[in-house]
Structure 1
Amino acid sequence: MSQDILINWSPQETRVAVVEQGAVQEVHLERTLERGLVGNIYLGKVSRVLPGMQSAFIDIGLDRAAFLHVADLMPNIQAKHASPRTSAADGAAPVLAPNPVLPIEKQIFEGQALMVQVLKDPIGTKGARLTAQISIAGRLLVFLPQDNHIGVSQKIPPAQREALRQRVLRIAATTDGSATGGFILRTNAEDASDEELTEDVAYLRKTWLRIKEAASRQPPATLLHEDLNLMQRVLRDLVGAQTQSIRIDSREQHALLTAFAAEYMPDTVAKLQHYSGERPIFDLYNIDEEIARALSRRVDLKSGGYLVIDQTEALTTVDVNTGGFVGARNFDDTVFRTNLEAAQAIARQLRLRNLGGIIIVDFIDMVRDDHREAVLTEFRKQLARDRVKTMIGGFSQLGLVEMTRKRTRESLAHVLSEPCDACAGKGTVKTARSVCYDILREILREARAFSPREFRVVASPKVVELFLDEERQHLAGLSDFIGKPISLQSENTMTQEQYDIVLL
């Protein structure tokens, strides 16, 4: 499927949209003051080891300490790769022999300097997730300097993997026979020449030597290597044979990106274009409107049905509804067609909103097994287009589809918005009447503890208006009961749930 990539650049923010067949599939944002940390390599300092959690907190110079689990330490990663297969009795399939995991307190200690790489950005109240296995991504290969493993992308057909593995092994040994380290062949290297692979190997090893040299002279909590900026990552990760054009609306950035592409990714130079139209580049496909819709809970389907997407700390839920779609034949057919369209729309929304973690999809209940299987097949087909790793199960006993999508960066909603001051992220606020009754109970509580001359209620205009109208009898009754006058003061700056009781 052909795609176009649009890049909107400004000094404070870079925005990238991936468009396929006229529809926006992905949106990526990077702000100058809020650059992501994924891929960055630091010389960290172990600030605390937690044997009970088999993890450690590492100081890498951020406001919050980063998190390192025992499974992400190199001895355990190497043991996992080297797991020997045991022979099984009675013709049973061979199984992996378990490798003992060395406790974290026996591998690292507080105050130790440790080279680490960021796996996940800080999200919410959680610090960054780290790994001790360093990987450096190139145009064609990913370099694993501490490992001798040679891997090939799972997206390359199995019949070609062994031949490609042997090519990389031979080129890596030819480039520098004394150098160690492993490589993973990326998907876009399937048709690469030996010369291109050799250049990538040399570049990655040179980068690693620079990182090691910096680690030997820099103090702990220092950044040793920063990943490419968003525009450069677009060329490295998003551009493929299906990419028709890469348009950027800044002449200066177009020149810089062209120079970068000419050195590292010459095949992409011909696809780079400077956009000089009068209309903003994102207006070409109404991308700003798509971003605005991606921040709402409801997503309308072309048939008249709709999705409701709720993102919480623990998981994301997607509810499918028929809405105004009444179908043409019968109810089962109406439900089936709505679910098929929803499967396509959900996969697109996951990419567009960059939703990750646990995702629960509640399709409309289907009676026929063949309908359920067809919807699940279509959903898996659409998810297969996702660059991010996804795992999906079948329908549960409750008729729900459970899946996970790897989360490395904040979702689009978390980047562009923040919790409402009025509802603190709940999505609802107390009614004015509920607040009135809270105030009456609070005055009664205060009257039992104190004996002021007067109580003054400072609240939002809507609450004060209700006290002056429908609730005036209850307010007067409380005033008589406590034997103190109660006055009202309207405050426009207060939200509906906010109030203050002043003792005069």
Structure 2
Amino acid sequence: MSEEILINITPPETRVAVIENGVVQEIIIERTARRGLVGNIYKGKVCRVLPGMQAAFVDIGLERAAFLHASDIFTGDRQDSQQITELVREGGEIVVQVVKDPLGSKGARLTTNISIPSRYMVLVPQMQNIGVSQKIEDDTERARLRQILSAFAEESDIPGGFIARTAAEGAGEEALRYDMQYLQRLWRSIQERAAEARAVTVLHEDLPLGLRALRDLVGPEVERVRIDSRSTWEKARLFAHKFLPDSDAQIEYYPGERPIFDLYGVEDEIQKALRRTVELKSGGHLVIDQTEAMTTIDV
């Protein structure tokens, strides 16, 4: 199976296409103006503590202070009944992660229980256990994943706990180990920034789509990744050199005058998918109608 990943960069949006044996399998689009904050990690400063609400407001550099409830503050002894005044103090520095974007007049919601995703798993640095997604129902597969993760974490002395995501089902041992090493390097770099940075600083932003595609989509079956933006290509090479060294040679810059999506027929596939009637491989089709109250799909 031959697989390629195409990354098209324009000012308003980034588009990624997965091509398998010459056929478009997946298209992902991220618009620049609509990037969220969920997953971002900050070194913030507690600006107000409210004992009556068991919460605190934290300045992380946004327009409004973010909200941190006592139940979202990780404590090693697991005493969830601790008072907010025992956990944080006004003016104190704290490392937090956004779990909910700001909405209307409300600020972002925070947690100190950091979690960092990769393609196959999630690293939870404060925890020490190994978990498997509940969506993986096969007992044999769950046991296999637990054995691989536990063995590698023990032999590598990797701090933190790991949760195997649904995508890990059927993944090879080498790919899983690769993911754990990537998360380990990333968490160490975040810790280094946190130790050096002043309060109200971004320590880690969830990757833009171009780099997320490298993290989540590149595997042994991918022959090459083609990027039509030189600046994004340079960032991708640096990212791969640091976190995905085995994929460094697969990343290519596409300087051609013809748009890369036209070259592979991706634009035609996008236009077909956006039509009112969408043809299916089985011979059937979908009819999509949008009204003010609802969107209907007739199969």
TM-score, scaled to structure 2? 0.71
Match of 1:161 in 2: 142
Match of 1:16 in 2: 15
2:131 paired with 1:131: no
1:242-268 per-position Cα deviation (integer Å, ceiling 9, x unaligned): 979754323564465356446517469
Match of 1:307 in 2: 290
Find 1:107's aligned residue among 78, 81, 87.
Answer: 87
2:97 paired with 1:117: yes
2:209 paired with 1:227: no
Match of 1:285 in 2: 267
Counterpart residue identity of residue 28, structure 1:
E
2:161 paired with 1:182: yes
Unmatched runs of 5 consecutive residues or more in structure 1? 80-98, 294-298, 311-317, 321-338, 342-504
Counterpart residue identity of residue 146, structure 2:
R
1:2-151 equivalence runs, <5 A:
6-10=6-10, 12-18=11-17, 26-30=28-32, 36-75=36-75, 79=78, 101-138=81-118, 140-151=120-131
Change in CA separation of 1:204 and 1:241 when aligned onto 2, cut-off 3 Å: closer
Match of 1:205 in 2: 184
1-structure distance, mates of 2:198, 2:218: 37
Q: Give the CA RMSD over aligned residues.
A: 4.2
1:407-454 per-position Cα deviation (integer Å, ceiling 9, x unaligned): xxxxxxxxxxxxxxxxxxxxxxxxxxxxxxxxxxxxxxxxxxxxxxxx
Deviation at 1:115, TM superposition (A): 0.9
Counterpart residue identity of residue 43, structure 2:
L
* Corresponding residue SS for 1:74: coil
Change in CA separation of 1:156 and 1:39 when aligned onto 2, cut-off 3 Å: same
Match of 1:478 in 2: none
Query: Does the 8 Å contact 1:7/1:14 carry over to 2?
Result: no
Match of 2:154 in 1: 173
Match of 1:215 in 2: 194
Query: Does the 8 Å contact 2:9/2:228 carry over to 1?
Result: yes
Counterpart residue identity of residue 223, structure 1:
V
Deviation at 1:135, TM superposition (A): 2.0
1:195-344 equivalence runs, <5 A:
197-198=176-177, 200-239=179-218, 246-251=225-230, 253-254=232-233, 256-257=235-236, 260-261=239-240, 264=244, 266=246, 274=254, 276=256, 278-279=258-259, 281=261, 284-286=266-268, 300=276, 306-308=289-291, 318-320=294-296, 340-341=298-299
2-structure distance, mates of 1:251, 1:144: 34
1:212-252 per-position Cα deviation (integer Å, ceiling 9, x unaligned): 34333432212223333321111223456897975432356
* Corresponding residue SS for 2:32: strand
Query: Does the 8 Å contact 1:118/1:129 carry over to 2?
Result: yes
Match of 1:388 in 2: none
Change in CA separation of 1:266 and 1:290 when aligned onto 2, cut-off 3 Å: farther
Counterpart residue identity of residue 104, structure 1:
I
* Corresponding residue SS for 1:109: coil
Larger radius of gyration: 1
Counterpart residue identity of residue 30, structure 1:
T
2-structure distance, mates of 1:54, 1:301: 53
Between stretches 184-193 and 279-288, larger displacement belongs to: 279-288
1:47-103 per-position Cα deviation (integer Å, ceiling 9, x unaligned): 223445443321012222112233322139x85xxxxxxxxxxxxxxxxxxx96444
TM-score, scaled to structure 1? 0.46
Greater relative contact order (CA < 8 Å, ≥ 6 in sequence): 2
Equivalenced residues, count: 283
2-structure distance, mates of 1:146, 1:305: 46
* Corresponding residue SS for 2:96: strand
1:386-465 equivalence runs, <5 A:
none
Counterpart residue identity of residue 151, structure 1:
G
Query: Does the 8 Å contact 1:4/1:19 carry over to 2?
Result: yes
Unmatched runs of 5 consecutive residues or more in structure 2? 279-285
* Corresponding residue SS for 1:27: strand
Query: Does the 8 Å contact 1:247/1:275 carry over to 2?
Result: no
2-structure distance, mates of 1:54, 1:36: 27
* Corresponding residue SS for 2:90: coil
Deviation at 1:275, TM superposition (A): 7.2
* Corresponding residue SS for 1:75: coil
